[in-house]
Structure 1
Amino acid sequence: MTYENQDPDPGEVSGLDLMEASVPGTPAGRMPEAGPPYHPPRGWGKGPLVAVPVIVALVAAFSLVYALLV
């Protein structure tokens, strides 16, 4: 099986200026498919704020029980 490159040679493409190619009606330098910017919420979520104290309490309880039994 032979491989043939399907991409055209950029030097042979006519009628297309790659530096100014854009969708009509789109300002230069803007991506037409991009939506509004995503701003993630700041700070910690509720999960870590609950999980960290629970884990600390479990470790403290285990240490206390271990110290009393040994």
Structure 2
Amino acid sequence: MDEKYPDPDDPRHTPGLEPGGGVPPGETPPGEDSTGGAGPDERHNPAKGWARTPVIVLALLVAVFLVYFLAWAVEL
């Protein structure tokens, strides 16, 4: 085995372990940091709500269907 890179699971080569595998006080790592910075860096927040063009297209489609069904109802 290459002594430069010892087995990480071998307790003889793991720093900070007491005999028997215990960890002395002060050898434990600090607590975990929050994950607030773990996500992507979002500098652009899109506007909330709908854009003007989809609302206009949807309104026109609704108007066409209303005119069609009104004409169909009047014809009866």
Name the TM-score class by shorter chain.
Answer: 0.3 to 0.5
Structure 2-normalised TM-score? 0.40
Between Structure 1 and Structure 2, the one with more helix by share is: 1
Name the larger-Rg structure: 2
